[in-house]
Amino acid sequence: MINIFELIPVGQKSISDYSEFVGEEEITRLKALSSRLAGARVLNLSSTAFGGGVAELLHSTVPLMRDLGIDTEWQVVEGDEEFFTITKLLHNCLQGLNAPWEPEMVEVYLKKNHQYARSFSNGFDYIVVHDPQPVAMYPILLEDGHPGGKWVWRCHIDISEPKTEAWEFVKDYINAYDAAIFTSSAYAPTDLKIPESIMAPTIDPVSPKNSELGTEAVDFVLANYGVDTGRPVLLQVSRFDPWKDPLGVIDAYRIVKEKVPGVQLVFIASMAHDDPEGMHYYKVTAEKAEGDPDIHLLTNLEGIGNTGVNAFQRAADIVLQKSLKEGFGLTVSEALWKGRPVIAGNVGGIPLQIDNGENGYLVNSVEECADRILQLLDNPEIGKEMGRRGREKVRNKFLTPRELVDYIELFLSL
């Protein structure tokens, strides 16, 4: 029998290793702040241990909270394909997809959340529930008496224009929590009755995905996957998902290829078990590529991991994130941190990271995306300056220690 909750092991990290990026003063402040939570128990609940931004964040924040003296755990909820198909639909409806949200789906969703409630072991001071999959568990627990602790729901998606039925369904569950976290103030609903905190995600500069890599290592990785470092490389790192618009990326690439025949396009994605759509949309993207040898579709199934992503981000002439909806888009900050010019959709949390024309370009169409690619390929010095500015913006706003401060201040406020 599969456990309802799986404890996720994480490595060890030291907050002192981050002083070279954010300064000793910031680390000293963080240590002093965290001392007020010494011995507190914190639990993070999510739906997958790999393959998405939530997992990426928790692999960094959980061990660092432990290093700061806060007893922190991360557990993943069990779910089958039917449940995750329904929760992905709920996710999409909350992002604005006009799809049916039927009573049969509600029944399956609540049945699983009742199982979570029956299996939950308390003893935590702060419980952070990530995204919609287990959001109903806490209100169900309340029906049998308060389980203890302060409960926070963190929303990682853009719910600024949700499908009404989907939002009305989850709203009452969210209102049972002690607080909610949103990536941007633009996402924060006006009809919640609980405190709302704004907390943009961050990247970890000492993780394998973001730490420094030498030129030889970068070249070795690209050659291993058949990508020619002597020709221009366009890169998009994201799940195969219609919101990420990989088909639009291919259309833009084909416009560019008419003028720059040697250009190459690389997609990199992780196939997460809580995203049943992923394999289907991978196949749709592969069909769109039509066997073009200069379009490379790479996933963790081919063995590419964080170091490989790091290498491709450092080697790419231009990094793309042509999303149609985007809660934040950690891959934007990852690329900016590596000094790469980024062209991305003018949606969601991406404009928090990109100042249009300063450290990248925001685009609203395939044609605009292609024009900006051609502009940067023709003027690489512009891309270099954008990359320099982008790295500094990430250093100031989107590195892990800042997120830890946000969490600790929220917990103390509760």
Judge contact between 327 and 156, C-beta under 8 A: yes
Q: Are residues 327 and 337 in the same domain?
A: yes
Q: Is residue 26 part of a domain?
A: yes
**Looking at residue 358, what DSSP letter applies?**
T
Q: Let me know whether 113 and 131 are in one domain.
A: yes
| Residue 208 within any structural domain of the chain | no
Residues near 14 by Cβ (< 8 Å), separated by ≥ 6?
Answer: 67
Q: Is residue 209 part of a domain?
A: no
pLDDT digits 0-9 by tens, 146-197: 889 999 999 999 999 999 999 999 999 999 999 999 999 999 999 999 999 9
pTM: 0.93
Is residue 2 scored above 60 in pLDDT?
Answer: no
Residues 281 and 312 in one domain: yes
Same domain, 318 and 353: yes
Burial (0-12, 13-18, 19+ Cβ within 10 Å), 234: buried
pLDDT band for position 84 (50/70/90)? Answer: very high
Residue 14: inside a domain? yes
Q: What is the CATH number of the domain that holds 225?
A: 3.40.50.2000
- Residue from 337, 157, 313, 344 nearest 237 by CA: 313
- What's the confidence (pLDDT) of residue 4? 83
Q: Are residues 133 and 115 in the same domain?
A: yes
List Cα–Cα distances, 252 to 294, 366, 393, in angstroms. 14, 5, 27
| Same domain, yes or no: 113 and 221 | no
Instruction: Assess whether 152 and 245 both reside in one domain.
Output: no
194 and 229, same domain (yes or no): no
Please report whether residue 246 resides in a domain.
yes
- Residue labelled with tokens 């949200």: 101
Let me know if residue 18 belongs to a domain.
Answer: yes
What are 272-306's pLDDT values in tens digits?
Answer: 656 767 788 999 999 999 989 999 999 988 889 99
Mean pLDDT of the region 28-53: 92
Domain count, the chain: 2
pLDDT digits (tens, 9 = 90+) for 99-127: 998 899 999 999 999 999 999 988 999 99
Q: Are 386 and 405 members of one domain?
A: no
Range of the domain at 370: 215-397
Residues 56-78: pLDDT tens digits? 999 999 999 999 999 999 999 98
Is there a single domain that holds both residue 11 and residue 89? yes
- Does one domain contain both 280 and 317? yes
Number of Cβ within 10 Å of residue 332's Cβ equals 32
pLDDT at 242: 92
pLDDT of residue 278: 79
Predicted confidence at residue 277, as pLDDT, reads 77
Residues whose CB is less than 8 angstroms from the CB of residue 281 and which lie 6 or more positions away in sequence, other chains included: 240, 241, 242, 246
Tell me: the pLDDT tens digits for 317-353?
Answer: 999 999 999 999 999 999 999 999 999 999 999 999 9
Helix (H) or strand (E) holding 167: helix 164-174
According to the model, what pLDDT value does residue 309 have? Answer: 97
Same domain for 30 and 66, yes or no, is yes
Examine the pLDDT at 373 and tell me if it is beyond 90: yes
In a domain, 100, yes or no: yes
Residue 207 lies in a domain: no
Rounded to an integer, the average pLDDT of 247-253 is 98
Burial category of 178 from C-beta neighbours within 10 Å (exposed 0-12, middle 13-18, buried 19 and up):
middle
